[in-house]
Amino acid sequence: MNNFRMAPLFLALGFLLFATTPLLQSCSSSYDAVGMQNVANLSTKLTTLMGKASTSTYDPNKSEITEVAADLKKAEEHGAMQKRNQEIANSWQILRTEQVEPFLTRWKEGKLDKDFVKEATAQVQKSLDAIKKAEQAKRK
Amino acid sequence: MPDKKKDIKVALDDLDNQVISLVGNFVKRRKAHYEKAAQMLHQNLKKDTQRYAEMLSDKKISGEDFEFLLQGRAAQMKIELLAELSMSKVKFDDIAMAVLKLTANTVFENI
């Protein structure tokens, strides 16, 4: 009789544990394949484009600049749409507004010095590496 | 069955210390991690700033370039710190899961 009376308690406990496990998992950051793809894509495109600033002027590269800038904006928007992803979304925004856009503005003024371009490109690459590390830390 | 109920209560009460030690170990470990990460970020920042200053004094870059690089380096540091923060949040999610698993396993072992 006692066994029979305890059964609903254990059943309820089982349901509670069953229900809270996926809930906790959904609260945590999960692996973002698109986010990873965005980092990989921009690591190549952005640094290659910036490297051209020491050998060529802005105008002949305009279409490539527009394309890469659009990709960067898309990566930022994608990051902002993900749950519990505030830090990565902010990182994309800082990369765009404080590193890439100021660089492109200077490039518009004319060809840039080789040593300067090398250092600015290295900064952008390291920022992208940091975003990649944060994406990789997410649970698969 | 009342014994079973008592066993479960005792087992769950015993978990208090285990949970505290689980979280305590994690925080200790992460504290060392944060200190190391902050030191590394600072060392890299110093190294880079020194290199920019040398490039400026060697006239390899202009004053404007130097200022631009310093601002870009500050942005890089912000992104690196945000990445650390993001990774630590994932670790805290891991703690929540570890506590839940520990509790669930203890209950199931005692049923």
pLDDT at B51 over 50: yes
Question: How does residue B102 score in pLDDT terms, banded at 50, 70 and 90?
Answer: confident
Chain B, nearest residue to A28 by Cα: B93
Taking only the tens place, the pLDDT of each residue in A16-38 is 555 555 554 444 568 899 999 99
Torsion of CA A39, B78, B27, A133, to 10 degrees: 10
In a domain, A1, yes or no: no
Which of chain B's residues have a Cβ under 8 Å away from the Cβ of A134?
82-83, 86-87
Partner residues linked to A23 by β-bridges = none
C-beta atoms of A98 and B71 within 8 A = yes
Which of chain A's residues have a Cβ under 8 Å away from the Cβ of B104?
17, 21
Tokens at A42, concatenated: 């921009």
pLDDT score of A91: 95
Q: Are A113 and B65 in contact (CB under 8 A)?
A: yes
Tokens at A110, concatenated: 């004319």
Helix/strand/coil for A30 = strand
In a domain, A66, yes or no: yes
Whole-angstrom Cα distance, residue B95 to residue A47? Answer: 38
In a domain, A18, yes or no: no
Partner residues linked to A139 by β-bridges = A30
In a domain, A16, yes or no: no
pTM for the model stands at 0.76
In a domain, A130, yes or no: yes
In a domain, A3, yes or no: no
Which of chain B's residues have a Cβ under 8 Å away from the Cβ of A98?
71-72, 74-75, 78
pLDDT score of B63: 92
Q: Who contacts B87 (Cβ-Cβ below 8 Å, separation ≥6)?
A: A133, A134, A137
Whole-angstrom Cα distance, residue B88 to residue B67? Answer: 32
C-beta atoms of A115 and B60 within 8 A = yes
C-beta atoms of A134 and B83 within 8 A = yes
The upper half-sphere exposure of residue B35, i.e. CA atoms within 13 Å in the direction of its Cβ, equals 6
As for the ipTM of the complex, it is 0.80
Tokens at A119, concatenated: 């250092």
In a domain, A19, yes or no: no
| Boundaries of domain holding A46 | 29-136
pLDDT at A1 over 50: no
Percent pLDDT > 90 in chain B is: 23
pLDDT score of B95: 67
Optimal mutation site among A23, A116, A128, interface B, most CBs of chain B within 10 A: A116
CB burial of residue A133 (10 Å; 0-12, 13-18, 19+): middle
Taking only the tens place, the pLDDT of each residue in A42-94 is 999 999 999 999 999 999 999 999 999 999 999 999 999 998 899 999 999 99
Strands (E), A58-117: none
Taking only the tens place, the pLDDT of each residue in A81-133 is 998 899 999 999 999 999 999 999 999 999 999 999 999 999 999 999 999 99
pLDDT score of A20: 55
pLDDT at A4 over 90: no
Percent pLDDT > 90 in chain A is: 73
The ranges assigned to domains in chain B are 2-104
pLDDT score of B5: 66
Over the range A1-33, which residues count as b (16 or more CB within 10 Å of their CB) and which as e? eeeeeeeeebeeeeeebeeeeeeeeeebbbebe
pLDDT score of A56: 97
Whole-angstrom Cα distance, residue A48 to residue A43? Answer: 8
Tokens at A75, concatenated: 């990566």
Long-range contact pairs involving B3-11 (C-beta distance under 8 Å, separation at least 24): B4/A6, B4/B110, B4/B111, B5/A6, B5/A9, B7/B110, B8/B107, B8/B110, B8/B111, B11/B106, B11/B107, B11/B109, B11/B110
pLDDT score of A14: 60
pLDDT score of B110: 67
C-beta atoms of B83 and A17 within 8 A = no
B contact set with A (CB within 8 A): 1-2, 4-5, 51-52, 55, 60-62, 65, 68-69, 71-76, 78-80, 82-83, 85-87, 89-90, 93, 96-97, 100, 103-104, 107, 111
Of B2, B79, B100, Cβ closest to residue A21: B100
**Higher model confidence: residue B22 or residue B69?**
B69
* Counted domains in chain A: 1
State the average pLDDT over residues B62-88. 89
A contact set with B (CB within 8 A): 2-3, 5-6, 9-10, 13, 17, 20-21, 24-25, 27-29, 84-85, 87-88, 90-91, 94-95, 98-99, 102-103, 106, 113, 115-116, 119-120, 123-124, 126-127, 130-131, 133-134, 137-139
